């Protein structure tokens, strides 16, 4: 478009030079000023636009997430028109797409809200917000600018579980234990008179002063029994026809179990061979979360479960188990969520069991040799559960 | 019945569709009026006996009619019999009405005189020189408007049209139409400028030296204002049609459009164009004589150089031919020598006697050259920005590279200077604002207090505090450690004539300040009466001091 105005300017200058007419310069001033100011205005006005996106960056599936967009013109020049377009990933394409065309006066602010409803778990990029503006006369091309990118973490579905038949030998967490291997100094059972050989750390100085003779504290025997969830996300370990559903089901089971264990005020750890988009590791594997308790820790687990993706033969599940087993305390309950169990894995599970770990196997999706696996698990004394769909988890909800 | 209502567009919809069309047509009609005004102005300047002012009005009406008809005619297939009959009928009607108008202006007598002549030699007597000129002007307007109408129709973007396009999965190429429209506006402007300039030049030639001097002294002629008005209106039209094109694009993207965009756009574009037009009219043009001479001199030099080059090329080409001719005994062929280079004297410096005030002349001159250099610099920078390869190759030339670096340094310096000036202005404004706020704060809060809005309790407290303030102004300020009664004793000793009032006001204050029971308005009125008496006593004391 600007070439036509260049043509006009050329005509004016040429004729003015040829015919020596001064008044044509007025026209020249007008056209050049219109051209220059028009371009300058649109470019400068767009630079002064500040955009803010405010939203709750964590949500559950099908939650309605309101995204508030604030557009502020920090400059003194008005923005004649501003086209806004917030880009969303394909997975969220079913949600409302934010597009607006507005005009902004000097120092004016406009706020908009749109809603997205994530249909599945994930770590979604929200943005960038594209801003386009232009001039009044169409002399300059549309100018664009990108806003910042935000991320929305959508947690997997968390089923509310009520009754989980975990091995009775390992009551969850720091509960009373009948085997006096360790004593818990926070659980005072009573006091007795001091006898030679008692540790001075056990002396109850207040009680000794009160009674006039040395008293030592007696502690309840206990052991920190922990639960570690190991999730297999190697695609090859799932039946190929139901791979996607089975891995998603595994994630739902892991999230639900972590939620239930945390609700029981017990410690839970988590490890997987899946890939995490936010991983610091070079191979992109998800971080291992050591056993801890509390809501914050549960949210960390859910964060990983939201972002996690399946891998192909990156880290075999058996290798993950081997690597994690050495860090597990005696009596730890290990919940393995997988789509298949081969003999090598059974062998590793047997070793783990002999090392004092309680094993719970959860098979997700369609498993071809399910009966054989169940038979072997019974043989090794391993508790096993199979879920073909989320509905099967109802046995833990009754 | 209900269905009929649902399908009938509301008044608002009709208006929202018709208004932009009407505005666009009105602008085009006005543009054509300006264009015709310019031509009429030039012709009138050449032939002072001719009065063609009526043509301006006629062309406005014809332009509107042509635009409307072009819209209606889109329904009729082209080429077709119906189309041809409609068009011919329309043109003939316009020409007849134009003739009738001329006779109305001349009077019925002229018509009666001319009527018998038509029978003898119709063509000569009917198509007079004036009538032919008017017809040509009107037909040109008619044709140009038809051209504009096509683009305007393509650019229409009311909701109904856009919805229809969306449903039929069809879209007008509005960007191309807008480009076409721009080209047409520019071409018409170019033609108008050419006509104006040629008219003036012709006027100079036929008028001789005196006429040329009077033209030079005239400055901007009235029809040049018409030219400027045409360009302003053209820009307005381009702006509004750009909005239409953008609107269509936004609609296609299903982007909700803020309802205030249209009026904001109209407001901004009008302000923008009016401001630029005013600035352009104010800027100096008198010192352009030197510049334009310089440009002509440069053009002449360039043409002469080209002629020399062509001469040498021809000389080289004809050399073997000459040799052949010499062998055959014929005279050699020599190309015509180029004319000597037009060594015009350099343009006269603007120290010619142009005005009474040399300082004003100097300022105008500096302003002119600054603006001109800015325009040239800006145009060059824009051009180079678009041709990055050329820019890169230019950097390879040492002198140009040095020059570009110098320009870049100058640009940086100017940018820094601009930043510093902006910062200084901001700081100054901030300081002024702070001073204004301080002054506002310095004004006694009592003066800004609205007593009617205070409760009776607050009013009593206010009167007491006012007494304390007046006391301090009279040199009887209340010490921080003084209780109200101690302070009352101090005031009593200084103004014994209002002892009772001071004590009563102090008691009222203590009651208002420390009691929990209600303070009635009567209490407040009583306190006010005490305060007024104390105030007059304190004022007397202050004036005595």
Helix (H, G, I), strand (E, B) or coil at A7: helix
More confident residue, B510 or B542: B510
Hey, which residues 89-148 in chain A have their CB within 8 Å of chain B?
Answer: 99-103, 105, 134, 136-138
Question: Chain A: nearest CA to B51, how far in angstroms?
Answer: 24
Task: Report, as an integer, the average pLDDT of B10-19.
Answer: 75
- pLDDT given for residue B455 in this prediction: 86
Q: Which residues pair with A361 in a beta bridge?
A: A336, A384
Q: Say how many CB pairs under 8 Å bridge A and B.
A: 157
**pLDDT over 90 at A70, yes or no:** yes
Residue of A nearest to B257 (CA): A101
User: What pLDDT score was predicted for residue A246?
Assistant: 94
Among A89-93, B284-288, B541-545, which is the least confidently predicted range?
A: B284-288
* Residue A232, pLDDT above cutoff 90: yes
pLDDT tens readout for residues B181-199: 888 888 888 888 888 777 7
Whether the CB of A1 is below 8 Å from some CB of chain B: the reply is yes
Task: Specify the range with the lowest mean pLDDT, choosing from A18-32, A359-373, B33-47.
Answer: A18-32
Q: How many domains does chain A have?
A: 3
pLDDT at position A178 is 47
Instruction: Please write the tens of the pLDDT for every residue from B484-532.
Output: 988 998 888 888 888 888 988 998 999 888 888 888 888 888 898 888 8
Q: The domain that contains A75 carries what CATH number? A: 2.60.40.10
The predicted model gives A195-214 an average pLDDT of 88
Q: Are residue A97 and residue A192 in the same domain, yes or no?
A: no
Q: Which residue has the tokens 């914050």?
A: A296
Segments forming the whole domain that contains residue A209 = 187-221
The mean-pLDDT minimum among A116-130, B10-24, B207-221 falls in B207-221
The whole-number pLDDT of residue A182 equals 52
Q: How far is A91 from chain B (nearest CA, A)?
A: 20
Q: Is the pLDDT of residue B448 over 80?
A: no
- Give the pLDDT confidence score for residue B330 in this predicted structure: 61
CA nearest to A21 within chain B: B197
pLDDT at A251: 95
Residue A27 vs residue A271, higher pLDDT: A271
Q: Is the pLDDT of residue A356 over 70?
A: yes
Residue A378 lies in a domain: yes
Q: Do A23 and B219 touch (CB under 8 A)?
A: yes
Nearest CA in chain B to A39: B382
User: Which pLDDT score is estimated for B289?
Assistant: 47
User: A216 in a domain, yes or no?
Assistant: yes
The pLDDT assigned to B399 comes to 74
If pLDDT is split at 50, 70 and 90, which confidence band does A175 have? very low
Regarding predicted confidence, which is higher, A196 or A259? A259
Residues from chain B that touch A38, judged by Cβ atoms under 8 A, are 272
The answer on A258 and A150 residing in a single domain is no
Band of residue A54 on the pLDDT scale cut at 50, 70, 90: very high
- The arithmetic mean of pLDDT across residues B323-346, rounded, is 58
User: Assign residue A107 a region: left if phi > 0, alpha if psi is -120 to 50, beta otherwise?
Assistant: left
User: Which helix or strand (DSSP H or E) is residue A145 part of?
Assistant: strand A143-146
pLDDT score for B4: 44
Q: Are A99 and B255 within 8 A, CB to CB?
A: yes
Q: Region A84-88: what's the mean pLDDT?
A: 89
Residue A64 lies in a domain: yes
Chain CA centroid to CA B388, Å:
32
Q: What is the DSSP letter of A235?
A: G
With a pLDDT cut of 90, the percent of chain A lying above it is 40
- Residue A156 contacts residue A121 (beta carbons within 8 Å): yes
User: Which ranges of B329-397 does DSSP label H, i.e. alpha helix?
Assistant: 358-386, 388-395
Could A26 and B281 be called an inter-chain contact, meaning their C-beta atoms sit closer than 8 Å? yes
Q: Rounded to a whole number, what is the distance in Å from the CA of B377 to chain A's nearest CA?
A: 11
CB contact under 8 Å between A34 and B201, yes or no, is no
Please tell me whether residues A321 and A346 are part of one structural domain.
Answer: yes
Cα separation values, B396 from B383, B403, B411, Å: 18, 12, 21
Indicate which of B238, B266, B352 best probes the interface with A, i.e. most A CBs within 10 Å of its own CB. B238
Residue of A nearest to B226 (CA): A27
CB B326 within 8 A of CB A44: no
**CB A361 within 8 Å of CB A385:** yes
Task: Tell me whether A85 touches chain B (CB under 8 Å).
Answer: yes
Q: What is the pLDDT of residue A171?
A: 41
Q: Which residues of B touch A104 (CB under 8 A)?
A: none
Q: Does A5 contact chain B (CB < 8 Å)?
A: yes
Q: What rounded mean pLDDT belongs to chain B? A: 78
Is A191 a domain residue?
yes
Whose tokens are 């087993």? That residue is A325
CATH number, residue A372: 3.40.50.410
Same domain for A299 and A387?
Answer: yes
The answer to whether A366 touches A389, Cβ cutoff 8 Å, is: no
Same domain, yes or no: A263 and A356: yes
Is there a contact between B197 and A16 if contact means CB atoms under 8 Å apart? yes
Average pLDDT for A132-148:
82
Distance from CA of B258 to the nearest CA of A (A): 5
Coil/strand/helix, residue B383? helix
| Residue A110: pLDDT over 70 | yes
Asked if A33's CB is within 8 angstroms of B279's CB, the reply is yes
Instruction: Give A-chain residues touching B260 at CB under 8 angstroms.
Output: 103
A46-60, A224-238, B145-159, B295-309: range with lowest mean pLDDT: B295-309
Mean pLDDT of B435-451: 63
Phi, psi (rounded to 5 degrees) for A222? -155, 170
Mean pLDDT of B53-66: 89
Decide if A162 is inside a domain: no
Q: Do A347 and A313 fall into the same domain?
A: yes
Interface-testing mutation among A75, A96, A101, with chain B (most B C-beta atoms within 10 A): A101
- Per-residue pLDDT for A125 more than 50? yes
Instruction: Report the distance separating Cα A35 and Cα A38, nearest Å.
Output: 5
**Residue B380 in this model has a pLDDT that exceeds 70:** no
What pLDDT score was predicted for residue A290?
87
What mean pLDDT is predicted for residues B360-369? 69
**Whole-angstrom distance, CA of residue A392 vs CA of residue A386:** 8
Answer whether residue A175 is part of any domain.
Answer: no
Nearest CA in chain B to A23: B220
Q: Is the pLDDT of residue B339 over 80?
A: no
Predicted confidence at residue B354, as pLDDT, reads: 46
Other CB atoms closer than 10 Å to residue B286's CB: what's the count?
17
Mean pLDDT for chain A? Answer: 85
Q: Let me know the angle formed at the C-alpha of B396 by B390 and B397, rounded to the nearest 5 degrees.
A: 100
pLDDT at B338: 53
Decide if pLDDT at B57 tops 70: yes
For residue A360, the SS3 value is strand
Q: Is residue A31 part of a domain?
A: no
Q: Inter-chain contact A136–B253, Cβ cutoff 8 Å?
A: no
| pLDDT-based confidence at residue A301 (cuts at 50, 70, 90) | very high
Of A133 and A163, the one with more pLDDT = A133
Q: Does A24 touch chain B (CB under 8 A)?
A: yes
CA distance B367 to B388: 32
Do B186 and A5 count as a contact with CB atoms less than 8 A apart?
Answer: yes
In this predicted model, what pLDDT tens digit does every residue of B485-495 receive, in sequence order?
A: 889 988 888 88
Answer yes or no: do A215 and A231 share one domain: no
**Confidence (pLDDT) at B472:** 85
pLDDT surpassing 50 at residue A179: no
What is the pLDDT confidence band of residue B2, given thresholds at 50, 70 and 90? Answer: very low
Residues of B in contact with A8 (CB under 8 A): 186, 189-190
% pLDDT > 70, chain B: 79
State the smallest CA–CA distance between residue B199 and chain A in angstroms.
10
A71 — phi, psi (to 5°)? -115, 125
Q: What is the pLDDT of residues B398-415, one digit of tens each?
A: 777 787 788 788 878 888
The half-sphere exposure of B8 on its side-chain side, counting CA atoms within 13 A, is 7
Based on the domain organization, do A241 and A340 belong to the same domain?
yes
Q: Determine the pLDDT at residue A51.
A: 92
**Which pLDDT band, with edges at 50, 70 and 90, does B1 fall under?**
very low
């Amino acid at each position: 478009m600007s070439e036509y105005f260049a043509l006009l300017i050329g005509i004016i200058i040429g004729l003015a030079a040829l015919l020596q007419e001064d008044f044509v310069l007025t026209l020249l001033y007008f056209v050049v000023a219109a051209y220059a100011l028009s371009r300058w205005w649109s470019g400068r006005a767009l630079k002064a636009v500040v955009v803010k996106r405010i939203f709750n960056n964590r949500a559950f599936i099908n939650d309605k997430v309101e995204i508030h967009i604030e557009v502020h013109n920090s400059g003194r020049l008005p923005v004649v028109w501003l086209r806004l377009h917030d880009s969303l990933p394909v997975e969220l394409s079913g949600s409302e797409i934010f597009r607006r065309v507005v005009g902004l006066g000097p120092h004016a602010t406009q706020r908009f809200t749109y809603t997205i409803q994530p249909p599945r778990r994930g770590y979604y990029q929200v943005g960038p917000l594209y801003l386009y503006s232009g001039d009044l006369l169409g002399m300059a091309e549309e100018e664009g600018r990108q806003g910042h990118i935000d991320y929305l973490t959508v947690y997997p579905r968390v089923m509310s579980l009520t009754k989980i038949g975990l091995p009775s030998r390992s009551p969850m967490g720091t509960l009373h234990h009948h085997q006096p291997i360790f004593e818990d100094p926070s659980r005072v059972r009573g006091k007795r008179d001091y006898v030679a050989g008692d540790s001075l750390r056990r002396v109850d100085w207040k009680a000794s002063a009160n009674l006039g003779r040395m008293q030592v504290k007696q502690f309840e025997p206990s052991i920190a029994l922990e639960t570690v969830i190991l999730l297999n996300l190697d695609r090859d370990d799932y039946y190929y026809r139901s791979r996607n559903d089975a891995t998603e089901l595994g994630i739902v089971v892991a999230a639900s179990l972590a939620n239930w264990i945390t609700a029981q005020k017990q410690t839970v750890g988590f490890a997987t061979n899946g890939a995490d988009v936010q991983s610091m590791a070079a191979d992109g594997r998800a971080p291992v979360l050591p056993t801890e308790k509390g809501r914050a820790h549960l949210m960390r687990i859910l964060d990983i479960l939201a972002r996690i993706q399946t891998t192909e033969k990156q880290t075999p599940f058996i290798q993950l188990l081997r690597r994690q087993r050495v860090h597990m305390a005696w009596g730890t309950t290990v919940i393995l969520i997988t789509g298949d169990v081969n003999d090598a894995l059974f062998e590793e599970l047997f070793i783990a069991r002999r090392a004092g770990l309680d094993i719970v196997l959860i098979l997700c999706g369609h498993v071809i040799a399910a009966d054989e696996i169940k038979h072997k698990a019974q043989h090794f004394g391993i508790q096993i559960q199979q879920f073909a769909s989320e509905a099967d988890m109802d046995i833990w909800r009754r | 019945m209900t269905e009929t209502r649902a399908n009938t567009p509301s008044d608002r919809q009709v208006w929202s569709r018709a208004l932009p069309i009407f505005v666009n047509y009105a602008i085009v009609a006005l543009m054509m009026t300006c264009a015709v005004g310019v031509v009429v102005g030039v012709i009138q300047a050449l032939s002072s006996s001719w009065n063609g002012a009526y043509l301006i009005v006629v062309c406005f009406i014809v332009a509107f009619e042509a635009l409307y008809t072009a819209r209606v005619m889109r329904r009729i297939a082209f080429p077709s019999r119906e189309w041809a009959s409609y068009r011919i009928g329309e043109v003939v009607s316009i020409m007849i009405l134009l003739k009738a108008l001329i006779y109305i202006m001349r009077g019925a007598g002229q018509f009666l005189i001319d009527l018998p002549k038509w029978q003898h030699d119709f063509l000569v007597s009917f198509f007079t020189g004036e009538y032919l000129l008017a017809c040509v002007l009107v037909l040109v307007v008619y044709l140009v408007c038809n051209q504009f109408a096509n683009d305007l129709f393509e650019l229409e973007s009311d909701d109904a049209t856009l919805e229809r396009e969306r449903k039929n999965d069809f879209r007008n190429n509005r960007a191309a139409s807008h480009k076409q429209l721009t080209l047409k506006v520019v071409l018409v402007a170019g033609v108008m400028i050419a006509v104006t300039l040629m008219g003036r030049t012709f006027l100079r030639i036929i008028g001789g030296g005196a006429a040329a001097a009077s033209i030079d002294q005239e400055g901007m002629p009235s029809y040049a204002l018409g030219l400027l008005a045409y360009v302003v209106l053209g820009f307005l039209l381009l702006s509004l049609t750009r909005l239409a094109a953008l609107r269509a694009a936004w609609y296609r993207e299903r982007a909700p459009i803020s309802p205030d965009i249209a009026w904001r756009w109209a407001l901004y574009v009008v302000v923008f164009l009016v401001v630029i037009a005013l600035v352009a009219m104010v800027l100096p043009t008198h010192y352009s004589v030197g510049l334009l001479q310089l440009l002509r001199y440069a053009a002449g030099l360039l043409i002469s150089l080209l002629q020399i080059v062509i001469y040498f090329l021809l000389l080289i080409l004809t050399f073997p031919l000459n040799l052949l001719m010499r062998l055959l005994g014929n005279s050699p062929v020599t190309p015509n020598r180029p004319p000597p280079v037009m060594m015009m004297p350099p343009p006269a410096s603007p120290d010619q006697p142009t005005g009474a005030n040399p300082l004003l002349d100097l300022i105008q001159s500096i302003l002119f050259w600054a603006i001109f250099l800015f325009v040239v610099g800006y145009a060059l920078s824009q051009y180079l920005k678009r041709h990055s390869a050329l820019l890169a190759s230019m950097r390879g030339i040492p002198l140009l590279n040095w020059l570009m670096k110098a320009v870049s340094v100058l640009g940086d310096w100017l940018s820094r200077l601009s930043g510093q000036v902006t910062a200084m202005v901001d700081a100054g404004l901030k300081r002024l604002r702070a001073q204004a706020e301080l002054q506002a704060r310095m004004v006694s809060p009592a003066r800004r207090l609205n007593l009617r809005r205070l409760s009776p309790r607050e009013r009593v407290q206010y009167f007491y505090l006012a007494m304390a303030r007046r006391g301090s102004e009279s040199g009887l300020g209340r010490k921080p450690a003084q209780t109200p009664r101690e302070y009352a004793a101090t005031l009593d000793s200084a103004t014994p004539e209002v002892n009772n009032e001071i004590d009563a006001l102090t008691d009222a204050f203590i009651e208002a300040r420390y009691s929990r029971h209600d303070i009635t308005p009567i209490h407040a009125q009583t306190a006010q009466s005490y305060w007024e008496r104390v105030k007059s006593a304190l004022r007397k004391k202050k004036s005595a001091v």
